[in-house]
């Protein structure tokens, strides 16, 4: 089959990682796979793709230009199926596909109720979702929050995840008295809550020698840097940007902290729990609760509670034995998020979507936008 997958960019985000894995898997199974990034100027990707996957950098700015670019791509490629990732891409793809014989699977990767949007966006999205052949949610709680008209066609498929290489043995990296390396990973924006993390770190680091590294890039870099200076922890907080390879942050970590205000399914927690790295996270909607077994592989604290976050960080930083026990508890997470299992769930969903019979299956022209 000819498959088109649409996303925002080719960067280092969780959706981009899953798209790359799904595209490679379907190409290996014999599909003709195209991946389009609406906001990308080039097809260069942080995550690797096999040579057989065609990448399309649409470089469209604004919803009208993106809508036109998606429709042009669908008309040029005439795919058997399109899969859209992320809230706005979902809505644009469903709109662009009106009148075209292309079934669309939408995949929500965040928490639409918490995302900033125009007041008309959510009712419009709810109407458009009725056009979707199926919807993929990452947690059952997210599926339950869908409109009833869509819920029956929604499927829960978690993110596939393999252990990351390079993690030091738990408790062996710092010793009982050395500074513990706290790591956070994500885009530097309000959703990820790094301002709350820096505030919590300022409360805990005097009680336990520690360093904090925040990997990622984004619009709040200057504000976060200023906050670290204002709270007197600038010398102990580093923000080196994104890692030069996927998962490269794991070698710098004794403990992962995820202070997000909201999530969809945080890939960084999945990577930690299957690798054997203890995690402290806010119990936000959605994802942390589905991945962290409190006391077994990490700790959950009430959402946006800076004092509780500081206390949990202090507890794990000061207890190498507990971190070792948590590191040894990766087995259930590895089984649940095994890529072969998760990608089989995608295969079954894709096979279940009816596709219109067309006479133009062979010889569809390649898009002029292709990389």
My answer on whether omega of the bond before 286 falls inside 30° of 0, hence cis, is yes
The label of the residue with tokens 């990389």 reads 371
Q: Could you tell me if 70 and 86 lie in one domain?
A: yes
**For residue 343, how many other CB atoms are within 10 A of its CB?**
20
Per the domain annotation, does 360 fall within a domain? no
Q: What domain range includes position 86?
A: 2-160+339-352
In this structure, the answer to whether residues 12 and 147 fall within a common structural domain is: yes
**Percentages helix, strand, coil for the chain, rounded to the nearest 5?**
40, 15, 45
Rg (C-alpha) for the chain, rounded Å, is 21
Same domain, 66 and 187: no
**Per-residue confidence (pLDDT) for residue 362, from 0 to 100:** 43
For residue 166, the number of C-alpha atoms closer than 13 Å in the C-beta half-sphere is 11
Q: What is the CATH number of the domain that holds 318?
A: 3.40.50.2000
User: Using CA atoms, how far apart are residues 186 and 70, in angstroms rounded to an integer?
Assistant: 28
Identify whether residues 135 and 280 lie together within a single domain.
no
Same domain, 297 and 227: yes
Residue 370 lies in a domain: no
Domain count of the fold of the chain: 2
Query: Do the domain assignments include residue 302?
Result: yes
On whether the pTM is more than 0.95, the answer is no
**Residues 147 and 194 reside in one and the same domain:** no
Residue 366 lies in a domain: no
Shared domain for 278 and 139, answered yes or no, is no
Residue 137 sits in the same domain as residue 239: no
Q: What string of pLDDT tens digits covers the 371 residues of the chain?
A: 999 999 999 999 999 999 999 999 999 999 999 999 999 999 999 999 999 999 999 998 889 999 999 999 999 999 999 999 998 899 999 999 999 999 999 998 877 666 666 666 666 667 787 899 999 999 998 898 887 878 889 999 999 999 999 987 665 544 455 789 999 999 999 999 999 999 999 998 666 789 999 999 999 999 999 999 999 999 999 999 999 999 999 999 999 999 999 998 999 999 999 999 999 999 999 999 999 999 999 999 999 999 999 999 999 999 999 999 999 999 999 999 999 999 999 999 999 999 877 645 444 444 434 44
| Whether residue 346 sits in one domain with residue 324 | no
Do 103 and 193 have their domain in common? no
Same domain, 48 and 64: yes
CA distance 257 to 200: 11
346 lies in the same domain as 326:
no
> In Å, what is the CA distance from 110 to each residue of 15, 136, 142, 284?
9, 11, 9, 12
């Amino acid at each position: 089959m000819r498959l088109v997958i649409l996303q925002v960019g080719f960067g280092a985000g969780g959706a981009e990682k899953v798209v790359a894995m799904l595209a490679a898997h379907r190409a290996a199974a014999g599909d003709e796979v195209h991946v389009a990034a609406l906001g990308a100027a080039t097809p260069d990707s942080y995550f690797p793709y096999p040579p057989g996957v065609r990448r399309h950098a649409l470089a469209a700015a604004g919803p009208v230009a993106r809508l036109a670019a998606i429709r042009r791509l669908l008309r040029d490629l005439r795919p058997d199926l399109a899969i859209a990732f992320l809230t706005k891409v979902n809505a644009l793809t469903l709109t662009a596909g009106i009148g075209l014989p292309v079934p669309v699977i939408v995949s929500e990767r965040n928490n639409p109720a918490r995302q900033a949007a125009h007041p008309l966006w959510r009712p419009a999205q709810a109407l458009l979702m009725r056009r979707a052949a199926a919807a993929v949610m990452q947690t059952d709680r997210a599926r339950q929050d869908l409109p009833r008209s869509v819920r029956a066609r929604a499927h829960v498929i978690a993110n596939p995840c393999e252990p990351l290489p390079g993690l030091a043995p738990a408790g062996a990296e710092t010793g009982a008295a050395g500074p513990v390396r706290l790591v956070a990973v994500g885009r530097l924006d309000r959703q990820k809550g790094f301002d709350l993390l820096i505030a919590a770190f300022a409360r805990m680091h005097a009680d336990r020698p520690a360093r904090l590294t925040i990997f990622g890039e984004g619009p709040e870099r200057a504000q976060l840097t200023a906050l670290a200076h204002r709270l007197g922890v600038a010398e102990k907080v580093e923000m080196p940007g994104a890692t030069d390879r996927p998962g490269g942050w794991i070698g710098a970590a004794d403990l992962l902290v995820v202070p997000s205000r909201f999530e969809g399914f945080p890939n960084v927690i999945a990577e930690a729990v299957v690798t054997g790295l203890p995690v402290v996270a806010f119990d936000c909607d959605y994802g942390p609760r589905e991945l962290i077994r409190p006391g077994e592989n990490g700790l959950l604290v009430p959402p946006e509670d800076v004092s509780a976050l500081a206390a949990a960080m202090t507890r794990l930083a000061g207890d190498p034995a507990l971190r070792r026990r948590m590191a040894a508890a990766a087995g259930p997470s590895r089984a649940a998020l095994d890529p072969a299992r998760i990608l089989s769930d995608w295969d079954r969903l894709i096979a279940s979507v009816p596709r219109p019979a067309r006479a133009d299956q062979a010889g569809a022209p390649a898009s002029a936008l292709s990389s």
